[in-house]
Amino acid sequence: MSDAQKRAAAERALDFVEDGMRLGLGTGSTAEYFVRLLGEKVSKGLKVVGIPTSERTAALAEELGIPLTNLDETPELDLTVDGADELDAQLRLIKGGGGALLREKIVATASKNMIVIADQSKMVETLGKFPLPVEVVPFGSRVTSMKIAEVAREYGCTGEIEPRDDDYDVPFLTDSENFIYDCNFGSIPDPDGLNRALNLIPGVVDNGLFIGIATMAIIGTEAGTKDMLPE
């Protein structure tokens, strides 16, 4: 994990931002670099409007003077720039390490384009080493987690499925007041199938697999940034 690589990727993403754009603003440390750099441009006169993917990003953007709107007022976006916990060569992602996967997916899919910015440690051959976050409604969450395990097994995924909580065992609540289960699968042989099957379970709101959503990735490497299109 390299902060310089994250920053470099965020800086390159700014090349794709044009005056007048409606921008989805991601969540996490890499996305934060982007929001801060965007804030500098806005202070110098760039005209954009942002739709934040979390309360945390909304607070940062407000502090930086980036004009904000929401998806009810602005349902079609030009570009979303966001980080990822893992990505493969097809630009399939695992997201949600920061717990914002639901809003992130809603905002990204409302956008014509999604650019993923990441340092090179996030590139993997097979998704799944990073625990897959699944957002579930609190009601009946234990039953839902048992169904997640059943469905995952059908897709060749086993491993511990743990409720996310803080250091005091208080359940983590998403911005939409749901729980998150982190699924330690190790590897996900069929991300497309698993993504679809998980989202059919009653009680699952969404999961951190982003399939066919990212249109480009910018990877910070030791030798500079690399633009990637899906294979």
Which residue type is seen at 149? A
* 101 near ligand 5RP, judged by CB under 6 A: yes
Least distance CB 121 / ligand 5RP (angstroms): 9
* 191 near ligand 5RP, judged by CB under 6 A: no
In the numeric block, which tokens belong to residue 89?
Answer: 């060569």
Footprint of ligand 5RP on residues 103-162 (CB under 6 A)? 104
Closest residue by Cα to residue 165 from 99, 95, 85: 99
Least distance CB 150 / ligand 5RP (angstroms): 26
Give whichever of 64 and 156 is closer to ligand 5RP, judged by the CB atom: 64
Find out whether 6 and 89 touch, Cβ atoms under 8 Å.
no
* 220 near ligand 5RP, judged by CB under 6 A: no
Least distance CB 108 / ligand 5RP (angstroms): 10
Give whichever of 104 and 182 is closer to ligand 5RP, judged by the CB atom: 104
- CA diameter of the chain: 53
Q: Which residues pair with 201 in a beta bridge?
A: none
Other beta carbons within 10 angstroms of residue 2's beta carbon come to: 14
Place of tokens 């099957």: 197
In the set 5, 10, 28, 134, which binds ligand 5RP (CB under 6 A)?
Answer: 28
Q: Which residues pair with 181 in a beta bridge?
A: 134, 163
Closest residue by Cα to residue 52 from 82, 30, 88, 78: 82
In the set 39, 50, 96, 203, which binds ligand 5RP (CB under 6 A)?
Answer: 96
Find out whether 141 and 159 touch, Cβ atoms under 8 Å.
no
Which residue has its beta carbon closest to ligand 5RP? 28
Instruction: Please pick, among 32, 86, 104, 135, the residue that the annotation labels catalytic.
Output: 104
Rounded CA separation 31/39 (Å): 12
Q: What is the DSSP string of 164-183?
A: -B-TTSPBP--TTS-EEEEE
Does 160 qualify as catalytic in the annotation?
no
Footprint of ligand 5RP on residues 30-69 (CB under 6 A)? 30-31
Count of residues touching ligand 5RP (by CB under 6 A): 18
* 99 near ligand 5RP, judged by CB under 6 A: yes
Footprint of ligand 5RP on residues 72-91 (CB under 6 A)? 82-85
Least distance CB 73 / ligand 5RP (angstroms): 23
Phi and psi torsions of 44, nearest 5°: -95, 5
Least distance CB 9 / ligand 5RP (angstroms): 10
Binding site for ligand 5RP (CB under 6 A): 26-31, 82-85, 95-101, 104
